[in-house]
Structure 1
Amino acid sequence: MTKPPPGRSMSARLRTAKGRSPQSQRWLERQLNDPYVQAAKAAGWRSRAAFKLIELDDKFRVLKRGARVVDLGCAPGGWTQVAMRKVGDRGHVVGLDLLPVDVVPGAVILQGDFQDAEAEKRVEDALGGQADVVLSDMAPNTTGHAATDHLRIMALAELALDFALRVLAPGGAFVAKVFQGGSEKDFLDTLKRNFAVVRHAKPPASRKDSAELYVVATGFKS
């Protein structure tokens, strides 16, 4: 797996800001100077977020050869790419998103809402059985209001967990994005009841100014 290079000694700046808002200008400059963005392009990953899953898996080893994996909210496909690389030809990876996603070689990409029973059945049919791992890198559009953003992302994490509890095989794993401040008590209690080990982690690829964390739950008790 390609690792990101050290940051540049000199930052790149856009040649012109004409027609761009200050917020757009800042975002584009950050992208230009982000070593993870550069490394993702060089390695063929669809997003810098691919490195977050690589780093989480390097630490927790949730993606094993031959595993059956569901990637919820998979657009643009970076996590699906990594999962497919990790599980190999004997594994199965199914990505699901409301938006259309370009083909990821070896994976099955479905368009639909994971809250629909029909979509859940399509996922299980594509996997050929229960999942060994459920991944969710989903996040809502942020408002800048910390309490609101925390509630929104926890709502998505809870929906992803509810899905995982229905489709995971015994011993399976669940990985989902949350925000700093940790998981809500009810959410954490549900995880602890249903998984042998529950941990939080912030991979190095997460920007330092980002509030995101990931919950990694392993050893599903069924």
Structure 2
Amino acid sequence: MTDAPFVAIEGPIGIGKTSLAKKLASHFDFHLLKEIVEENPFLGKFYDDIEEWSFQTEMFFLCNRFKQLEDIEKKYLNQQKPVIADYHISKNMIFARRTLPEEKLGKYQQIYHILTKDMPVPNMMIYLYGGLDTILERIRKRGRDIEQNIQPGYLAQLAEDYEQYMDQFESLHPDIPVIRINGDECNFVQHQNDLEWILAEVEQQLRKTAAL
């Protein structure tokens, strides 16, 4: 785990990770690390035919996230410069387990573990979650063309996968604080009071981490 503040935001597709990361980066003057999404040339095909394009899609994400984190570690974290990211690379396994057939999942896991074994670990996690209606509405509002064919059933399954993932993350990393934010009740984009509550929670955890 790095000594510099390294905050990762996680949650289902469309829940607001990037929007929150931008606001926190601006408020705390942290470097913003955004995951590459629309640049993935396989993503549109993936949403049309998950089984056919899952391996190519997941490998593109894995390799690009590995490169991003490698650069962030050298240029920022090793220089004691704080970072906030709108993803955690371990999310790759959530999607891989959901989309890859068994024979390809084994190969993917081997590559994943080789690439990530020395990656920097966040010292704070923010978990955004919400019901399917909230997720669908936010995806609709941001209007990415490649996301218009996502099946609601797939999103619902991912939301359940994220719940299990975060429970496991907290069990495996009891030393990393997790701030859980219910997107059904908290709209930090439209309501300043909601944003101020999140800022206060993050500030409190940053102070605790700095005091250790």
TM-score, normalized by length of structure 1? Answer: 0.31
| Greater fraction helix | 2
TM-score, normalized by length of structure 2? Answer: 0.32
Structure with the larger RCO, 1 or 2 (CA within 8 Å, 6+ apart): 2
| Greater fraction strand | 1
